[in-house]
Every structure is written in structure tokens, then in C-alpha cells.
Chains A and B, each alone.
Chain A
Amino acid sequence: MSSRMMWALAAVMVTGCAAKGKTGTPVTVFVTDTEATAISTAVIRHPDEAERHRVNSVDGSWTEEVLYMPDGSEITFRPGEMLVLEISAPGYETQVIQYQVRRRKNEFNVQLVRHDFDDEAIEEPMMSFGRDNPRDLGGGGPAN
């Protein structure tokens, strides 16, 4: 009986240490496009943060457990807290996400949609020939 309790206690301690980093709970974001391909140029930032965090250019992932604000404060990721992130990439529409931090397995995927540069809808102007415009001689005479 005591050995079982010992094992259970050990398991709780080990998993707790694994889920918790030095300061907070690590959160991992994978940024991909609609075809599940990693976007290597994506950046992630908190709305109140000045700095942008680049994702891993190979797999498009970003992992963090604390963010530092311009006023010197820190946002430490703790289980139960709501996390707001702006995820953007050149040529893609920015997404703002909200995520509630859990105790473990804080990994999720964010898909970005490409901008639709639809120039076909733009009406093309007509080309005109060069014509001399007759000089406007005016209809009236002098003011008086």
C-alpha cells in the first residue's frame, strides 16, 4: 500500500515538473498556411508588446512561457489564464487568437490565409489617341 502511494506521489511530482518551466507554463504555437505548410516568415506578438517574435523558420513553431511588456511588467503564462496573441506573416492576413493556458499540452496550430491580391477586378482605363484640342477663344470680349 505504501509502495503504491509512493509511486503515485512520484508520478505527480515528475509530471508537474515536466509541465512547468522555469517561470511559467510553456505554450507552443505552430503557424501554417491553409495547406498545413509551415510559414517560416510568421511573427507572433502580444497586443501590448513592442517586440515581435519570429517563429522557427523550419517548422513554423514558437514556444514561450513569459512575455516582457514595454513598461517592464511580465506576462507569465499560468494555467487558467487567457492569452491573447497576434500572429502575422508577410502576404498573409493577421489573426488575433485567444488561448486559455492549460496545465500541460499547450500546443496548438494557427492557420493563416493568404491575401487575395485580386487585380482582375480593377477596371483598366482606355487608351486614347492624341488629338489637338481646339484653342478656346472665349465667347466674351473685354470686361467692359
Chain B
Amino acid sequence: MRTRSLRLSLLGLCLVAPVALAAGLSDYEPIFPTNPCQDGWAACIVNGDSVTADPTKDAAGRPLPSDLRVGWFDLEATAALSPFVELSAYDGELDAPEPPAEAPVASGGGDGGGGGDARPVAVASNDGGGGGGQASQGGSRRDPGGETTAPAGAGGGATTPSGRPMFTPTPVGQGSDLTATPTTPTPVGSGTTVAQLDNTAAIQPVAPPVANDSCDDLVALEPAALMGRMLPGQVKCLEGRLSGADLQTEKDKISRVLMQNAEAAGNKSEWERLIKRHLEDIDRSDPNLCFKYALHLSRGGVGRAWGVIKWADYALENKQQWTGSTYKARVNALYQLRAEAAVKLWEDANAKMLAASGDDRSKLEADEVKLRGMAKDYSREWLDYARAAGEDIKKPMALCVSTAGSKKFCEE
């Protein structure tokens, strides 16, 4: 029994250990730094020794990461010691400037020697190849920001990794062991710049955009309508299209663009005219529009209360188009608008009745009773819905009690 468990344990260990000990290539990144040189290059020559991504060796022959500034075991300075080294200068022959027809920035992996390598390594290019001499750039490299940038110009032009012309470096750290040979490179690409400037003569002046009053494409007009910046000509054009349209759906689309434009422009009276026309003559099946219009009317006086009730009723007819919390909130609000409008009417009828006398008064008394009954019904409906939907019933209850004159009528 003990032998069996021992075997099982060994078997489990064998299965688990390889997984636990498995390592990916990323685990070796610290040993092979991508930019070991202190000037930011992937490779350079310091004191005649090349510094690349490969590990270096200390005096005792122990391997070290090439970007280590001092030895791990002996604390001796390595080739990557000084952080103050400037960019390595290029002292090779410069090629003739490229014709300006090409794109100003060459694509990655240019024709500099070794530019096509998968790993971004700067390659000496004074002779067009990857030989010795000062390390320079020819291929793409990864800049500190993490983006791969391509040097400008072909054939190893002396520019900074970001493509800007390189200026004369000032030698720093003369007493240092690091001897980066300063030279005076000619900014490459200056010819290109001049050539590009010459092209300005070919630029033709562009005429300012002409105001377009066309209204064929409604979708194209929507952004302007959303900002209320449709041109008067466009509005006129749409009105013409609306009056001439045969299809009701076409009228609906045009009318919506016009309404949106008027609302966004803050033109309330025009918006009211348009939405009234839309609901009366074109389409009243959109509960959002009916609700919007009822809400707008409710902010007016008692003279608009009948309109509030009418459009709130139409909106409630199509309330099934809403869902979820939108349904609850909007239906509750519509019941509220209707009940409040009815109360306003009742209040107005009461005041008129008290001011009247004689036969008029008896007629107005009948009206008052009728309107009170309507207000009572609408208030009760609002209360019932609010109660069923779990909405706040404080306001509907107060309105119901006020219209009914008795709390008993409004209790469950």
C-alpha cells in the first residue's frame, strides 16, 4: 500500500514538475536587452568592443547582460557604464538626396544594411553594409515610447530615430573610457525639405465651400439638424419636398428633420408649429412625440390643458412601444400630466362659476361638477398606476384626495 502511494506521488511529481519548471522566451529578456547601449542603440562599439544584445563577459569570463553598467561579481565598469554618452555620430559618406517625389518617411526595414531584420538592431552603414566602424542606424528601432519608428532617408542617413535631422553632438565625458567619435554630420533631408517647399508653387488655391441648399439626402442633413444649423434654403427645400411628397413615410422623415432642426436651434414657436402639424396631419403613432408635445403644452396655461389630455391619451394608446423602466417612468408621467391638466381645468371652472351669476352660473356649476369628476377619475388612475408600478404615491394621493374631497375614495 505504501509502495503504491509512493509510486503515485512520484508519477504526480513527474507530471507536475515539467509544467512548473517550464519557462517562456520572455523569461530570458533581462539577459538579452534590446537596447544595451547607453545612447539608446541596439548595438554600438565602445573602445573597439562591440556591444550588442548578446551577453558580455567580465574579467573572469562570467557572462553578464550587456546593459549592466558594472560587473555583478567584481563591480568593475563595463562598456555600458556611462549614462551620459551622446548618440553615436555617423562619419561615413552621405548619399545624394532622394528625389522629393517619394514619401518623406521611409517604411520600416529600409535599404539600410540589415534593415530587414526581425529584431530592431542598428547596423553600421558607412559602407552600406553591416560591417565595422561607427554603429549607426539603418533599420527600424523601438524608441523609448514603444513605437517602432523608421529613420528617414535611405542608405543610412544621419537622422535621429524619430526622423528629425541630427545635429552636431557635443562630446561629454572626455575623461571617460567611452570614446564615441564626434563628427559633424550634415543634416540629411535638407534637400528633401527644400524640394518639398518648392512644391508649394503647385498648390492651387481652393475656393471656399459654396452654401448648398439641396435637400435630397436626408441622412446627410441630420448632423446639421441636430445642431440646429440647417440653412434657410435647406429648410425651404425640405418644406417643398414635404408638401409634394406622396408617401406618408417620406413626409414623416422630412418632418422629423425639420422638427429636430427647429428644436436644436431653440426656436420654440416654430418647433411647436411643426410638431403640431406632424401630429395632426402626418403621424401620431409615435408615443415619444405625443409625450413630448403633451409635456410642452403642460408648461403653458390652463388654455392648453385640453391639449395635454388629448396628446397624453394618444401617447398612452401606443405605450407598448416602450419597455422596462422607460415604460414605467413615461406611463407614470403621462398619467401625472393628464391628472394635473384636469385639476387645472376644474380649478378654472370653479373660479368662473363663482364669478358668474344667474343662468350662467347654473350652467357653469354643471361644468364644474363634470370637470371635478374628470379630475377625480384621472387622479385616481394615476394613483392606481403609481401604486401598482411601485412609484412614489405621495403626489397622486394628494391629488386624488383633493379632487375626491375624501380620503376614503383614494384608499386601497
**A residues apposed to B, CB below 8 Å:** 40-41, 43, 45, 47, 52, 57, 86, 88-94, 96, 115-117, 119, 122-132
**B residues apposed to A, CB below 8 Å:** 218-219, 222, 225, 249, 252-253, 256-257, 259-260, 263, 288-289, 291-292, 295, 298-299, 329-330, 333, 336-337, 340, 343-344, 346-347, 350-351, 354, 372, 375, 395, 398-399, 401-403, 405-408
> Is the pair B257, A41 in contact by a Cβ cutoff of 8 Å?
no
Chain B residue with minimal CB distance to A113?
B398
Residues on B with C-beta less than 8 A from A125 are 288, 291-292, 330
User: How far does the alpha carbon of A116 sit from the alpha carbon of B336 in the complex, in Å?
Assistant: 12
18 contacts between A and B (CB under 8 A): A52-B405, A86-B405, A86-B406, A89-B402, A90-B343, A90-B375, A93-B401, A94-B398, A115-B395, A115-B398, A115-B399, A117-B298, A122-B295, A122-B336, A127-B260, A129-B219, A129-B222, A129-B256
Interface on chain B toward A: helix, strand, loop, or mixed SS? helix
> Is the pair B256, A130 in contact by a Cβ cutoff of 8 Å?
yes
A89-B402, A115-B399 given; 14 more Cβ-contact pairs under 8 Å: A41-B351, A86-B407, A91-B344, A91-B347, A93-B398, A119-B337, A122-B337, A123-B329, A124-B295, A127-B263, A127-B289, A129-B219, A129-B222, A130-B256
Given A86-B407, A88-B405, A41 contacting B354 (CB threshold 8 A)? yes
User: How far does the alpha carbon of A94 sit from the alpha carbon of B406 in the complex, in Å?
Assistant: 8
Residues on B with C-beta less than 8 A from A93 are 398, 401-402
> Is the pair A130, B292 in contact by a Cβ cutoff of 8 Å?
no
User: How far does the alpha carbon of A41 sit from the alpha carbon of B347 in the complex, in Å?
Assistant: 8
B326 CB to closest chain A CB (Å) equals 8
User: How far does the alpha carbon of A107 sit from the alpha carbon of B206 in the complex, in Å?
Assistant: 87
User: How far does the alpha carbon of A144 sit from the alpha carbon of B225 in the complex, in Å?
Assistant: 49
A45 CB to closest chain B CB (Å) equals 6
**How many A-B contacts at CB < 8 Å in the complex?**
95
Residues on A with C-beta less than 8 A from B340 are 115, 117, 119
A122 CB to closest chain B CB (Å) equals 5
> Is the pair B347, A45 in contact by a Cβ cutoff of 8 Å?
no
> Is the pair B252, A130 in contact by a Cβ cutoff of 8 Å?
yes
B151 CB to closest chain A CB (Å) equals 50
A59 CB to closest chain B CB (Å) equals 13
Task: Name the 10 nearest CB pairs between A and B, nearest first.
Answer: A130-B253, A90-B347, A125-B288, A41-B350, A91-B347, A94-B401, A122-B333, A94-B402, A117-B340, A57-B354
Residues on A with C-beta less than 8 A from B351 are 40-41
Residues on B with C-beta less than 8 A from A126 are 288
> Is the pair B292, A43 in contact by a Cβ cutoff of 8 Å?
no
Chain B residue with minimal CB distance to A112?
B402
Partner of A90, one of B298, B333, B346, B401: B346
B386 CB to closest chain A CB (Å) equals 14
> Is the pair B257, A129 in contact by a Cβ cutoff of 8 Å?
yes
A40 CB to closest chain B CB (Å) equals 6
Given A57-B354, A125-B330, A130-B256, A119 contacting B398 (CB threshold 8 A)? no
User: How far does the alpha carbon of A90 sit from the alpha carbon of B263 in the complex, in Å?
Assistant: 34
> Is the pair B256, A127 in contact by a Cβ cutoff of 8 Å?
yes
Residues on B with C-beta less than 8 A from A132 are 249
Interface centre among B225, B289, B340, B375 (most CB of A within 10 A): B340
> Is the pair B295, A92 in contact by a Cβ cutoff of 8 Å?
no
Partner of B298, one of A41, A57, A119, A128: A119
User: How far does the alpha carbon of A123 sit from the alpha carbon of B347 in the complex, in Å?
Assistant: 26
User: How far does the alpha carbon of A127 sit from the alpha carbon of B260 in the complex, in Å?
Assistant: 7
Residues on A with C-beta less than 8 A from B288 are 125-128
User: How far does the alpha carbon of A125 sit from the alpha carbon of B295 in the complex, in Å?
Assistant: 10
> Is the pair B407, A96 in contact by a Cβ cutoff of 8 Å?
yes
Residues on B with C-beta less than 8 A from A57 are 354
User: How far does the alpha carbon of A93 sit from the alpha carbon of B336 in the complex, in Å?
Assistant: 16
> Is the pair A92, B402 in contact by a Cβ cutoff of 8 Å?
yes
User: How far does the alpha carbon of A41 sit from the alpha carbon of B405 in the complex, in Å?
Assistant: 13
User: How far does the alpha carbon of A45 sit from the alpha carbon of B404 in the complex, in Å?
Assistant: 11
